Amino acid sequence: MKSLATSLLGFLLLLSASHASVYAASDSTGSNALPPCVARSPTTGLYYDLNSISLSPPKTKDEKLRGNIRDESWHAKGHDYHANFTINVCAPVVEDIKDVVGVDRARWQNVSAYYEKEGKTYSIGQQASEPVFRGRKLVLNYTDGSPCAGELIGNASRTKSTIMSFLCDRDAPAHQATASFVGTMDQCTYFFEVRSSAACGGVAPADGQGLGPAGVFGVIALIAVVAYLVGGCAYQRTVMHQRGWRQCPNYSLWAGMFDFVKDMFTILGSSLGRVFRFKRSPALGHTRSGSQRGGFISAIGGRRNSGRDVDAENRLIDQLDEEWED
């Protein structure tokens, strides 16, 4: 029994190791095929989907009136910068902005972060949808904004850019984000922190190449059941010296449950038999009673006839005896 348990445990370990190697191989080959606005941590292997905090303008007036979709981008106060910032995640801002300094008209609709100062609109980055990990920090970069201070418009070598660092906030609603302005050193690169539950990471949905949450739970449950059976049988056989079906762990419990189920089926079967049993008709019952009565009368008549035959035989024997004596 010990050899059987050892072999089963070895098989489970081999199966888990092979599954891990296949998963790692598929992950290494498919890491470049992540959906937009999704990143995978190289240290923990968790997936971070920021699409839940990526805003888009409402398509109809009904959606705007019902409040199902946010009709404005995320805002961050500039405090001592004397300007407030408007940003979106992996998508252009919801607001319809115009006259962006140093940005072509065709690219106004792709601005993902901007601020207004002294009556002018400055872009601090064009739309991007590829968040990356720098160590344990999840960041998203926007580039190609308005020209930096001191640069010539139309011939700028440096443009404004944005770096957003995402922090996990498990208490935040699923589709809510809080952006905070950290600072800027040269009024050319702007740093923000965005707190959201989307930055907490999770398991990637099953796409046909790996196991989803239900599959992982099923594998864990299967391993637990196998360990329970193998370990319980080994204990009952080696320690309790049980044989046969009594080697099964908690044999009395399972036997009692089986007997209970069997008794319930027996009771249910008998109850259904009584319910669906056809009642005898009155005519059939009368016929049977008449036949039984006739049989009883014929039996009595037969007994009477048999009694008469015995008397006749006795008389015949007496006559023969008298003749023999004479």
Q: Which tokens is 199 given?
A: 């930055």
Q: Which residues contact 148 (CB under 8 A, 6 or more apart)?
A: 156, 158, 159, 160, 186, 187, 188
8-state DSSP, 105? G
Nearest CA-CA partner of 193 in 162, 233, 237, 157: 162
Q: pLDDT tens, 31-47?
A: 457 899 999 999 888 89
Q: How far apart are CA 138 and CA 196, in angstroms?
A: 12
Q: How far is CA 150 from CA 155, 160, 191, 274, 318, in A?
A: 11, 12, 20, 99, 160
- Look at residue 292 and tell me whether its pLDDT is greater than 50: no
CB-CB contact of 195 with 167 (8 Å) = yes
**Domain limits, the chain:** 47-199, 212-261
Q: How far apart are CA 233 and CA 1, in angstroms?
A: 8
Q: How far apart are CA 40 and CA 275, in angstroms?
A: 64
Question: CATH homologous superfamily of domain 47-199?
Answer: Mannose-6-phosphate receptor binding domain (2.70.130.10)
Cα 15 from chain centre: 23
Give one DSSP letter per residue of 214-282, joined into a string: HHHHHHHHHHHHHHHHHHHHHHHHHTS---GGGGSTTHHHHHHHHHHHHHHHHHHHHHHHHHSPPPPPH
147 or 68: which leads in pLDDT:
147
Strands (E), the chain: 38-40, 47-49, 74-76, 85-87, 113-117, 120-123, 132-134, 137-142, 161-168, 177-183, 189-196
**pLDDT the model gives residue 45:** 86
Cα 217 from chain centre: 8
Q: Which tokens is 254 given?
A: 């399972």
41: three-class secondary structure by DSSP: coil
Q: pLDDT tens, 142-181?
A: 999 999 987 766 666 789 999 999 999 999 988 899 999 9
Helix, strand counts (H, E) of the chain: 5, 11
Q: How far is CA 299 from CA 292, 294, 303, in A?
A: 11, 8, 6
CB-CB contact of 125 with 144 (8 Å) = yes
Local confidence band at 29 (pLDDT 50, 70, 90 cut-offs):
very low
pTM of the model: 0.55
Q: Which of 49-58, 145-154, 161-170, 262-271 has the lowest mean pLDDT?
A: 145-154
CB-CB contact of 105 with 95 (8 Å) = no
* Mean pLDDT for all residues in the chain: 79
Which letter, b or e, does each residue of 230-243 get, where b requires 16 or more Cβ atoms within 10 Å of its Cβ? beebbebbeeeeee
220 or 153: which leads in pLDDT:
220
